Structure 1
Amino acid sequence: MKIKVTAVFDIGRTNKKFFLFDENFQEVHREYNRFDEIEDEDGYPTENLAALEKWVKEVFDKMLDSETYEIEALNFSCYGASWVHIDENGKPLTPLYNYMKPLKDDIFNSFYGAYGPENELSRVTGSPKLGMLNTGMHLYWLKNTQPETFKKIKYSLHLPQYLSYLFTGIPVSEYTSIGCHTMLWDFEKKDYHSWVYQEGIDKKLPPIDSSRKTALINYKGKTIKMGVGIHDSSSALLPYIRSVNKPFLLISTGTWSISINPFNEGMLTAEDIENDSLFNMRIDGSPVKVSRLFLGNEYKLQVKALSDHFNVSPDAHKKVKFNQDTFFEINKDFTHMFKWSTMSSEDMPNETTISYDKFEHAYHQLMLELVLLQEKSIRAAIGNSAINQLYVDGGFSDNEIYIQLLSQYMGNMKLSTTDSSLGSALGAAIVISDVVLEATFLDKNYAVKNHRPFILK
Structure 2
Amino acid sequence: MKKVTAIFDIGKTNKKFFLFDADYQEVYREYTTFDTIVDEDGHPTEDLKSLQDWLKNVFDRILKSEKYNITAINFSTYGASLVHLDEQGEVVTPLYNYTKPLDKKVIDSFFEKYGPEEKIAVTTGSSNDGMLNSGMQLYWLKHTKPAVFKKIKYSLHLPQYISYIFTGIPISEYTSIGCHSSLWDFSKKDYHDWVYAEEFHKILPPIVSTETSINLNYNGKRIKIGVGIHDSSAALLPYVRSIKKKFILVSTGTWSIALNPFSEKLLTKEDIDKNCINYMRINGKPVKSARLFLGNEYTLQVKEMAEFFGVSEDYHKSVKFNNDTYFEIVKDMDPIFKWKGFTTKQMPKKTNIHYDNFEHAYHHLMTELVLLQVESIKIAAGDEPIEKLYIDGGFSDNDVYIKLLSHYLRNMELRTTDSSLGSALGAAIAISDSKLNSKFLKKNYSLKKHVPFIIK
> How high is the TM-score relative to the length of structure 2?
0.99
Instruction: Return the letter of the residue paired with 2:450.
Output: H
Whole-angstrom CA distance in 2 between matches of 1:246 and 1:312: 44
Other-structure match for 1:302: 301
Is 1:34 aligned to residue 37 of structure 2? no
What whole-Å deviation, never above 9, does each CA across 1:121-174 have from its counterpart, x for those lacking one?
100000000100000000000001110111110000000000000111110000
User: Which structure 2 residues correspond to residues 75-94 of structure 1 after superposition, within 5 A?
Assistant: 75-94=74-93
Whole-angstrom CA distance in 2 between matches of 1:418 and 1:425: 15
Other-structure match for 1:340: 339
Is 1:62 aligned to residue 70 of structure 2? no
Give the length in aligned residue pairs: 456
Other-structure match for 2:163: 164
Instruction: Return the letter of the residue paired with 2:325.
Output: T
Instruction: Return the letter of the residue paired with 2:31.
Output: Y
| Secondary structure in 1 matching 2:345 | coil
| Secondary structure in 2 matching 1:280 | strand
- TM-fit CA distance, 1:62: 0.2
Whole-angstrom CA distance in 1 between matches of 2:251 and 2:128: 22
Whole-angstrom CA distance in 1 between matches of 2:420 and 2:251: 11
Other-structure match for 2:412: 413
| Secondary structure in 2 matching 1:307 | helix
- Asked if the contact 1:265/1:385 (under 8 Å) is kept, the reply is no
Is 1:10 aligned to residue 12 of structure 2? no
What whole-Å deviation, never above 9, does each CA across 1:348-375 have from its counterpart, x for those lacking one?
1111101111111001000000001000
Stretches of structure 2 lacking an aligned partner (at least 5 in a row): none
| Secondary structure in 2 matching 1:144 | helix
| Secondary structure in 1 matching 2:76 | strand
Instruction: Return the letter of the residue paired with 1:284.
Output: N
User: Which structure 2 residues correspond to residues 193-204 of structure 1 after superposition, within 5 A?
Assistant: 193-204=192-203
Whole-angstrom CA distance in 1 between matches of 2:136 and 2:355: 47
- TM-fit CA distance, 1:454: 0.6
What whole-Å deviation, never above 9, does each CA across 1:243-270 have from its counterpart, x for those lacking one?
1110110000000001000001110011
Other-structure match for 2:113: 114
Instruction: Return the letter of the residue paired with 1:276.
Output: N
Other-structure match for 2:330: 331
Other-structure match for 1:123: 122
Is 1:19 aligned to residue 21 of structure 2? no
What whole-Å deviation, never above 9, does each CA across 1:422-441 have from its counterpart, x for those lacking one?
11000111110100011100
Instruction: Return the letter of the residue paired with 1:262.
Output: P
User: Which structure 2 residues correspond to residues 359-438 of structure 1 after superposition, within 5 A?
Assistant: 359-438=358-437
What whole-Å deviation, never above 9, does each CA across 1:380-426 have from its counterpart, x for those lacking one?
00001221000000000010000000000111100000001111000
Whole-angstrom CA distance in 2 between matches of 1:42 and 1:358: 48
Instruction: Return the letter of the residue paired with 1:409.
Output: Y
Other-structure match for 2:273: 274
Q: Percent identity?
A: 63
Whole-angstrom CA distance in 1 between matches of 2:194 and 2:325: 55
- TM-fit CA distance, 1:110: 0.3
Other-structure match for 1:311: 310
- TM-fit CA distance, 1:452: 1.1
Instruction: Return the letter of the residue paired with 1:43.
Output: G
Whole-angstrom CA distance in 2 between matches of 1:420 and 1:117: 41
Whole-angstrom CA distance in 1 between matches of 2:216 and 2:140: 35
- TM-fit CA distance, 1:230: 0.3
| Secondary structure in 2 matching 1:361 | helix
| Secondary structure in 1 matching 2:248 | strand
Other-structure match for 2:220: 221
Whole-angstrom CA distance in 1 between matches of 2:439 and 2:354: 47
Other-structure match for 2:153: 154
Whole-angstrom CA distance in 1 between matches of 2:224 and 2:107: 42
- Asked if the contact 1:20/1:27 (under 8 Å) is kept, the reply is yes
- Asked if the contact 1:257/1:296 (under 8 Å) is kept, the reply is yes
Other-structure match for 1:189: 188
Whole-angstrom CA distance in 2 between matches of 1:167 and 1:449: 39
Whole-angstrom CA distance in 2 between matches of 1:215 and 1:108: 38
Instruction: Return the letter of the residue paired with 1:121.
Output: I
| Secondary structure in 1 matching 2:258 | strand
Instruction: Return the letter of the residue paired with 2:342.
Output: M
Is 1:178 aligned to residue 186 of structure 2? no
| Secondary structure in 1 matching 2:384 | coil
Whole-angstrom CA distance in 1 between matches of 2:2 and 2:384: 43
Whole-angstrom CA distance in 1 between matches of 2:233 and 2:104: 31
Instruction: Return the letter of the residue paired with 1:107.
Output: V
Whole-angstrom CA distance in 1 between matches of 2:443 and 2:200: 45
- Asked if the contact 1:252/1:393 (under 8 Å) is kept, the reply is yes
Other-structure match for 1:454: 453
- Asked if the contact 1:397/1:403 (under 8 Å) is kept, the reply is yes
> How high is the TM-score relative to the length of structure 1?
0.99
Q: RMSD of the TM alignment (CA)? A: 0.5
